[in-house]
Amino acid sequence: MRFGFLLTKGKAEAPQIASTLAQGLIARGHGVVVIEEDARALPGATVVPAAALGSSVDVLVVLGGDGTFLRGASLVSDHGVPLLGINLGSLGFMTHYSLGEAAEAIAQASCGKLPIDDRMRLRVTVCVNGQDVETRSALNEAAITAHTIARLLDLTAELDGGVITTYKADGLILATPTGSTAYSLAAGGPILTPDLEAIVLTPICPHTLTNRPVVLRADARIAVTNVSPGPVILTLDGQWSRELGRGDSIHVRKADRPLRTFRPPSRFFAILRQKLSWGERQG
């Protein structure tokens, strides 16, 4: 098997950890692959451009936090490559394995003994002047926010061709179940367990307080049009963005291919209790 490694830039210990894990794989006859920017961390590995990583590996090991995991997902998910996240960050909703669990998890994955889960992603198409101009995927969310200074936006949302409403808000988030614990949660959206298939529509600071988050079915056809006086910004997973002018829209639906991720220990609610301080008395 070919194991790719993607390293966070925020942890000085990441190269040494990756080197130790890679040496174990090489000793068992597996190949190790890195992208060009991580080549110095693993001098004996095969080096490929980031765009070629998905077609060059069978498994991607991510060392870092959820931001690094999201980047890894954007590089390999369309190729069906499963991700194994090792948490070197602070939150770790997606990088499930601790450093102490890393070597055993990788060994189990290399033997085909670690179960794999599928997680729904979004397919987001940008439409300008009635024409589709670009399509991207998102694991967490698509967020529409102000272009520069904070101001109230006007965003018309449609479901299967029918108008939901025109939101007057600081922005709008369309999140997957995986993304329900990210930006959407901070904006007051509900938490969905990651095995569900649904899309959460969460307004950011809506001017009308009765505009609450809505959970939509996964096969829904959702469109959001910018009817604000000026441009707005579309951001996908905090990794990619582009401007949407007045009248521009996005069309959102469930992506054809899910993210494949190695199933973590059954600790979803344990993570919520730890990271969100559930059950702890405040004050």
Question: What gap in Å lies between CA 152 and CA 150, rounded to an integer?
Answer: 7
Helix (H, G, I), strand (E, B) or coil at 147: coil
| Separation between Cα atoms, residue 194 and residue 179, nearest integer Å | 9
The C-alpha atoms of residue 137 and residue 279 are separated, in whole angstroms, by: 35
Compute the distance between CA of residue 59 and CA of residue 64 in angstroms, rounded to an integer: 16
Q: Which of 38, 66, 170, 237 is catalytic?
A: 66
* CA 276 to centroid of chain Cα atoms: 19
d(CA 130, CA 137): 20
Q: 272-281 burial by CB neighbour count: b if 16+ within 10 A, else e?
A: beeeeeeeee
Token pair of 155 as six digits = 């965003």
Give one DSSP letter per residue of 167-231, joined into a string: EEESEEEEE-TGGGGTHHHHTTPPP--TT--EEEEEEES-SSTT---EEEETT--EEEEE-SSS-
Q: Are 247 and 226 in contact (CB under 8 A)?
A: yes
Pair 153, 161: CB distance under 8 Å: no
Structure-block tokens of residue 67? 């931001």
237 a catalytic residue: no
Active-site positions read 66
